[in-house]
Amino acid sequence: MADDAVKLSGADVAPDAWIEGVESAEFKTLIDAKQRSIVPMIVIYMTGYMGLSILAGFGRGLLGIKVLGAVNLGFVLIAGNYVMSWLLAIVYARISADRHDPLVKVVVEKARMSGSAR
């Protein structure tokens, strides 16, 4: 808490540390790794959820097809959206902890070394 309060009142690294930082190979690796995982996930959930919403408006007959007893395709897709969101949460948590966080750590340490503001 106290540590953060100190940080809020000033800079963490030298004023131009970011220039070196954004140009560094490590930072580019981090951005690449993030884009590779985040972009496909965005495509997946947006397609899944907007697909459901569009079908709820324009595919009402299709969503009414019975799948399991009284349960129709619409409710199956709704359940699918719950499962999709939860799986995505788990997968993203895993990927970011295993791959993104170590890369961030490298970039942060390098920036702190390159010139200390404190």
Partner 1 sequence: MNLITVAMFAAILLVSLGITAWAARRTRTTVDFYAAGKGLTAAQNGFALAGDWCSAAAFLGFTGLTALYGMDGALYAVGPLVAFCTVLLLIAEPLRNTGTYTIGDVIMYRMRQPPALAAAIVGTIVINLAYLIPQMAGAGVLIKLLFGLRYDVSVILVGLGMIVYVAVGGMLATSWVQIVKAVLMLGAGAIILFLALAGVGFDPLVLFASAEAKAGPGFLLPGNLLKNPFDEVSLGLGYMLGLAGLPHVMTRFYTVPDATTARRSVIWVMFLAGAFFACTTIFGLAAVHYLGPQALRVGNPGGNLTLPLLAQYLGGGKDTVGGQLMLGFVSAVAVATILAVVAGLTLATSGAVANDLYVNLIKKGRVAEHQQVLVARITAVLVGIVATLLGILAEGVNVAVLVILAICIAASANFPVLVLSLFWRRFNTGGVVGGMALGLVSSVGLALVGPAYLGANAIWPLVNPTVVALPLGILGAVLGSLLTGRNHEHEKRFGEVTFRIQTGLRSDHP
- Residue 20 Cβ, how far from partner 1 at the closest point, in Å? 10
Decide if residue 113 touches partner 1 (CB under 8 A).
no
- Residue 42 Cβ, how far from partner 1 at the closest point, in Å? 6
Decide if residue 95 touches partner 1 (CB under 8 A).
no
11: left (phi over 0), alpha (psi -120 to 50) or beta: beta
Which residue in this structure is represented by tokens 């995505």? 88
Q: Which residues of 92-104 are buried (b: 16+ CB within 10 A; e: fewer)?
A: eeebbeebbeebe
- Residue 99 Cβ, how far from partner 1 at the closest point, in Å? 13
SS3 116: strand
| Contact map string, positions 41 to 80, toward partner 1, x by CB under 8 A | xx--xx-xxx-xxxxxxx-x--xx---xxxxx-xx--x--
Q: What is the DSSP string of 34-76?
A: HHHHHHHHHHHHHHHHHHHHHHHHH-HHHHTSEEETTEEHHHH
Please give the residue ranges that form the binding site for partner 1 (CB under 8 A). Answer: 1, 4-5, 7-19, 21-22, 27, 30-31, 34, 38, 41-42, 45-46, 48-50, 52-58, 60, 63-64, 68-72, 74-75, 78, 81-82, 84-86, 88-90, 92-93, 96-97, 101, 104, 107-108, 111-112, 117
